[in-house]
Amino acid sequence: MLKSILRGWKSQGYLDGIQLLRNRSTFFMYAFSELILATASVSGMVLLASKFGGIGVWSRTDIFFLLGYALTVDSLLEMFFGYNIRNISRRIGRGQLDHLLVQPRPLWIALFTEGFSPFSVFLRLIPGGVLIGWAITQKPIEISPMWWGWFALNIVASVGVVLGYSFAWGSLAFWSPRGAEEICSSISRMFGQLQIFPLNGLGIITGGLLTILPIGFMAWFPARTLLTVPLYPQSLLITPIVSLCFLGLGLVSFVRGLAHYGRTGSQRYLDHGHRR
């Protein structure tokens, strides 16, 4: 099993690398555009936090850590689940899931490895790493190996929350391929637009952004717990627990949808091969 995953990552990483490194102009185009996109996505909040010394109860340092955390989670999602694995409704709605089902390997391994694109996404991690590195040097908290372990666990858990939520909604494409084909794209846009904001002081809306639309678990909640470890150490387990719940929900939804798909097949194609 582990060998299959590593073999899949190796082959996908090779394909990603050769398309990026095939010539100098392509490499610099990708590098420059990825850095610009990642930086631009948080530049507004960086400028606001720098101008006013923070936002609400969040200091400038806290905001920078939040932004770095959000960029890291989004980059890892794109690095490991690109090529419409993160937006699984596209694969299902367009009838492209059959391309995975005919492969001589388990479907979950194909989904876990096919979206791996380390080289084309790697540069997105740089702005996030810079923001996190600067923030933790300014905060009066103990940065120990244990803290880094909790940091890594919460990063993975945040990725799991987004992925599980996306698969749960994306599975609707099994029943309504045309209507739900882009539902995961809308979810990704909502997460991308709201992940960089601190959610303190929103009252009942905060609860909704941690349950119905769990944007808060992509960056705000885990970032807050990591910055207040001495006060609330038990809260470091909340994001991993929520992640398991959403991953379970996504798995159940996808498996039920796949069973339906096994009975009906793709509804986007006529018998003679033309797309509706």
Residue 30: give the domain boundaries.
2-264
Residue 269 maps to a domain: no
- Name beta bridge partners: 54: 59
* pTM attached to this predicted model: 0.90
Is residue 271 assigned to a domain? no
Q: How many structural domains compose the chain?
A: 1
- Give tens-digit pLDDT for 217-227: 999 999 989 98
Is residue 274 situated within a structural domain?
no
| Distant-in-sequence, close-in-space partners of 93: CB < 8 Å, separation ≥ 6 | 173, 177, 178, 180, 181, 182, 268
In a domain, 69, yes or no: yes
Asked if residue 275 belongs to a domain, the reply is: no
Strand partners, 114: none
Which tens digits make up the pLDDT trace of 184-219?
999 998 898 888 888 887 778 888 888 889 999 999
Tell me whether residue 276 is in a domain. Answer: no
Write out pLDDT tens, residues 47-88: 888 888 878 788 888 899 999 999 999 999 999 998 889 999
Strand partners, 55: 58
In a domain? residue 270: no
Query: Residue 73 has what DSSP assignment?
Result: H
Q: Which helix (H) or strand (E) holds 58?
A: strand 58-59
Residue 256 lies in a domain: yes
The pLDDT assigned to 234 comes to 77
